[in-house]
């Protein structure tokens, strides 16, 4: 026989269910269970009657009754003398417990999802379709930076997500594989998909990093065709992200041919992604635009917090050609402060004078620096 939400199943009525154990699972102590079951048998009773039947003290009955009333199991009639305690109808109790459990579900699922991400930093993916879905979703969630190597003949599968990311101020560095000759028409066929894009004819893995902490690494053949029999790794680990970015910028990016470089972004603009600040400073300097940098961070020798403002007088970078950095992953700014040159590096900097958390760029004759919102954050709000 079917039962409704508040109905008691037949097996419970016949004693096949361990009611005491179930009530314990709902958080009732053994004595609270004894008190409640005694009240169910009496319907309504004085505290002394319940105490005698349950084998507990009268004082405990009052204490337990307050807890049971708070949970909806009983009603305490303290407006009469002597005080009586009445068991609420079991159907109402079950309905209330079910409602409470259902109301917890969204919060529990949200916490479970966060815990799952934190405790399972790697996922093995065997399907090409799933790999592309993971890449799209990761790009959609990007807030600061995307680096991606991807076959040119498959670019349309992720072009919309890349374009949206670039539109909201994310630094998008795109390396397109399977291109034997420099592709001068890339910007016309796929406008706005990258801040900077390069092409390469040699095979290489499809590698994605998003904000330096999540990404995908897949064999070249897995993205290029279906049923390749290979596997990809989807990761979410801050320690691994910078390693993949370092390989992307250090091993592959310098060997590829430059195909697209976006126009300089409007100023003033603020960046918490240091590479993006370096790129924009370089693009403006190449356009003969003087740029003032306002840097918030810490001195690398002492760790003391510092803010410094000065004209950008030098940029070391390898994001756009020609590169002028001493090694592929070196990116730095030099600003002039009170006649002295101060070098700025990104997260983990130790050679430069300052390790930057945030860099604001502005024209010398523009508004006073120090108040611009971060580019990606402000575009995301738009």
| Tens digit of each residue's pLDDT, the chain (382 residues) | 344 444 444 444 444 578 888 888 888 888 888 888 998 998 898 888 988 888 888 888 888 888 898 889 999 998 888 889 999 998 888 888 888 888 888 888 777 665 544 546 889 999 999 999 999 999 999 999 999 999 999 999 999 999 999 999 999 999 999 887 766 678 888 999 999 999 998 888 999 999 999 999 999 899 888 877 889 999 998 888 999 999 999 999 999 999 999 999 999 999 999 999 999 999 999 999 899 999 999 999 999 999 999 999 999 999 999 999 998 889 999 999 999 999 999 999 999 999 999 999 999 986 665 555 555 544 544 4
Topology of domain 269-381, per CATH? SH3 type barrels. (2.30.30)
- The radius of gyration of the chain from alpha carbons, rounded to an integer in Å, stands at 32
Sequence ranges of the chain with CATH classification 2.30.30.690:
269-381
Contact 214, 235 (CB under 8 A): yes
Q: What is the pLDDT of residue 300?
A: 95
Enter the DSSP assignment of 9: P
157: preceding bond cis by omega (within 30 degrees): no
CATH 1.10.10.10 residue ranges of the chain are 10-114
Nearest to 358 by CA among 376, 337, 338, 339: 376
Secondary structure (H, E, C), 277-310: HHHHHHHHHHCCCCCEEEEEEEECCCCCEEEEEE
Other CB atoms within a 10 A radius of the CB of residue 182 amount to 14
Q: What residues have CB less than 8 Å from 88, skipping those under 6 apart?
A: 72, 73, 74, 75
Is the CB of residue 196 less than 8 Å from the CB of residue 319? yes
Start-end ranges of CATH 3.30.870.10 in the chain?
A: 122-261
Q: Which two tokens stand for residue 24?
A: 């314990």
Indicate the fold that domain 10-114 takes in CATH. Answer: Arc Repressor Mutant, subunit A (1.10.10)
The CATH homologous superfamily to which domain 122-261 belongs is Endonuclease Chain A (3.30.870.10)
């Amino acid at each position: 026989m079917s039962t409704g939400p508040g109905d008691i199943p037949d097996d419970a009525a016949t004693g096949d269910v361990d009611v005491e154990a179930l009530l314990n699972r709902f958080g009732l102590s053994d004595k609270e269970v004894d008190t409640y079951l005694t009240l169910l048998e009496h319907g309504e009773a004085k505290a002394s009657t319940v105490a005698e039947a349950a084998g507990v003290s009268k004082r405990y009955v009052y204490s337990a009754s307050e807890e049971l009333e708070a949970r909806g199991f009983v009603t305490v009639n303290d407006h009469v003398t002597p005080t009586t305690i009445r068991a609420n109808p079991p159907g109402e109790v079950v309905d209330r417990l079910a409602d409470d459990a259902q109301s917890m579900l969204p919060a529990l699922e949200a916490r479970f999802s966060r815990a799952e991400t934190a405790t399972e930093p790697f996922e093995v993916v065997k399907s090409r379709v799933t790999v592309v879905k993971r890449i799209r979703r990761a790009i959609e969630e990007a807030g600061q930076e995307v680096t991606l190597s991807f076959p040119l003949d498959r670019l349309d599968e992720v072009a919309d997500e890349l374009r949206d990311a670039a539109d909201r101020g994310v630094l998008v560095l795109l390396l397109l594989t399977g291109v034997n000759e420099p592709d001068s028409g890339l910007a016309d066929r796929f406008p706005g998909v990258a801040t900077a894009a390069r092409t390469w004819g040699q095979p290489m893995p499809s590698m994605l990093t998003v904000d330096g902490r999540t990404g995908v690494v897949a064999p070249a053949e897995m993205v290029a065709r279906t049923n390749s029999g290979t596997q990809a790794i989807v990761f979410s680990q801050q320690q691994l992200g910078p390693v993949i970015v370092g390989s992307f910028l250090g091993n592959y990016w310098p060997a590829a041919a430059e195909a697209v470089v976006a126009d300089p972004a409007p100023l003033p603009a603020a960046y918490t992604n240091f590479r993006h600040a370096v790129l924009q400073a370089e693009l403006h300097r190449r356009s003969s635009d003087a740029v003032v940098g306002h840097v918030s961070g810490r001195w690398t020798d002492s760790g003391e917090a510092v803010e410094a403002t000065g004209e950008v007088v030098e940029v070391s970078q390898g994001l756009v050609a020609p590169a002028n950095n001493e090694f592929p992953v070196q990116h730095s700014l030099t600003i002039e402060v009170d006649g002295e040159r101060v070098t700025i590096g990104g997260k983990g900097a130790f050679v430069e004078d300052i390790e930057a958390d945030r860099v604001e760029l502005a024209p010398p004759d523009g508004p006073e620096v120090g108040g611009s919102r971060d580019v990606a954050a402000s575009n995301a709000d738009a």
